Amino acid sequence: MKKTIILILCFVIALSFSACSAPSNQPEASQQSESRTLKKYSLSAKRKVIIDTDTGGDDASALILAAKSGNLDILGVTTLVGNVNLDQAAKNALAALEIAGSNVPVYKGSAENIKGEKIHAFSVYGTDGMGDMDLIHPEGKVEDKDGIDFILETVRQYPDEIEIITLGPATNIAKAIQRDPDTMKKVKMIWSMGTAGLGAGNASPVAEFNVYHDPHAYKIMLDSGIPITIIGLDMCGGDAMWTDAQFDKLRDTNPIGKFVTHSFFKLREFFKKNRSGDRVDNCDAMAMMCVIFNGFISDTISCHGSCITEKGETYGQVIFYQQGFTYDVVDNDFDYNVTLVNGVGKKDYFDLYRQTIMS
């Protein structure tokens, strides 16, 4: 009997030690999990890029990711009206780059759409596009050169080497194509965060904001024949959305994480009132992940893209004609210059982002 009691006591004590020690292992286990996530993907070879942005909080998070990754030679950032007006977009880009420790030059591009119409910029990221958290106090200044001229001069200097990552409307790209189509044909790749992909839109049931803001510009870009890789809204939903708990973790990571978290303040409010509770998407940094990391894209479709520019319910929708299909309503004589991303590492997205900004 005495032996039985002693054995029971030993078992209870062992359980107590096990229960007490478990919580202390959780941070270490989390770090090991994030480390494994980072090792799943490799950085792509270093290449020359221009980033084109209408800098709201999501664009800013993507600029920071690009600057911290170390494998992109960012020759310049061009800005335009979209999430916010042109001046604010430029200031936001400067502030985001500075918090990432980067002195990449910033150029102002389009203050209006391709048809010359002034666009009222509305942002779910707040009036300053960055959460209205008093984050934007850049020390640097915007370059004097016009952003579209910068794009063309850079492509002429590095023909067939430049990749343009466009995170906002396609206005700057379309204007560059109109000014000098021969030079723009020497762009190696355009990466576009735009369209609804094969899913639903956010500006309308079928149209995504960046395209809806200037569909005529997006059509010019699609019709240019330049190779384009598109990352649509359907790639940044579901498991790719960031939760309140993840934002808390990001905020506590370092000053960069705090900056990004605060810049999403107004968007998180908007989603809680109108959409998905404590989960928000971050499509621009998702698009940047696709550029930076080998293996992050898991599936693509070769397509021809057609943008609807006529006013009506489908205004701003991009229709994708998949290569290998025969469609009855068209002649199928397409230029399949679009690679539509159809699968990404959604579950790894947040951990990979956090690990990269810690480097």
54 is catalytic: yes
Q: What is the pTM of this model?
A: 0.90
Question: What pLDDT score was predicted for residue 27?
Answer: 55
- pLDDT, mean over the chain: 90
pLDDT tens sequence across 283-323:
999 999 999 999 999 999 999 999 999 999 999 999 999 99
Number of domains in the chain: 1
Number of neighbouring beta carbons within 10 Å of residue 78: 32
Domain membership of residue 32 (yes or no) is: no
Q: How confident is the model at residue 332 (pLDDT cuts 50, 70, 90)?
A: confident
Question: What pLDDT score was predicted for residue 29?
Answer: 55
CATH of the domain at 52: 3.90.245.10
Question: What pLDDT score was predicted for residue 18?
Answer: 41
Question: What pLDDT score was predicted for residue 236?
Answer: 96
Domain membership of residue 22 (yes or no) is: no
Structural domain including 237 reads: 46-357
Q: Rounded to whole angstroms, how far apart are CA atoms 100 and 177?
A: 31
Q: How confident is the model at residue 17 (pLDDT cuts 50, 70, 90)?
A: very low
Looking at the DSSP assignment, which residues form a beta bridge with residue 166?
52, 192
Backbone phi and psi for residue 153, each to the nearest 5 degrees, phi listed first: -65, -40
Domain membership of residue 25 (yes or no) is: no
Domain membership of residue 81 (yes or no) is: yes
Q: Which of 52, 54, 58, 59 is catalytic?
A: 54
Q: Which ranges constitute the DSSP H helices of the chain?
A: 2-40, 57-69, 86-99, 147-157, 171-179, 181-184, 209-213, 215-222, 244-251, 255-263, 265-274, 283-292, 349-357
Question: What pLDDT score was predicted for residue 24?
Answer: 42
Domain membership of residue 144 (yes or no) is: yes
Domain membership of residue 6 (yes or no) is: no
Looking at the DSSP assignment, which residues form a beta bridge with residue 164?
50, 190
Contact 110, 171 (CB under 8 A): yes
Domain membership of residue 254 (yes or no) is: yes
Domain membership of residue 34 (yes or no) is: no
pLDDT tens sequence across 80-120:
999 999 999 999 999 999 999 999 999 999 999 999 988 77
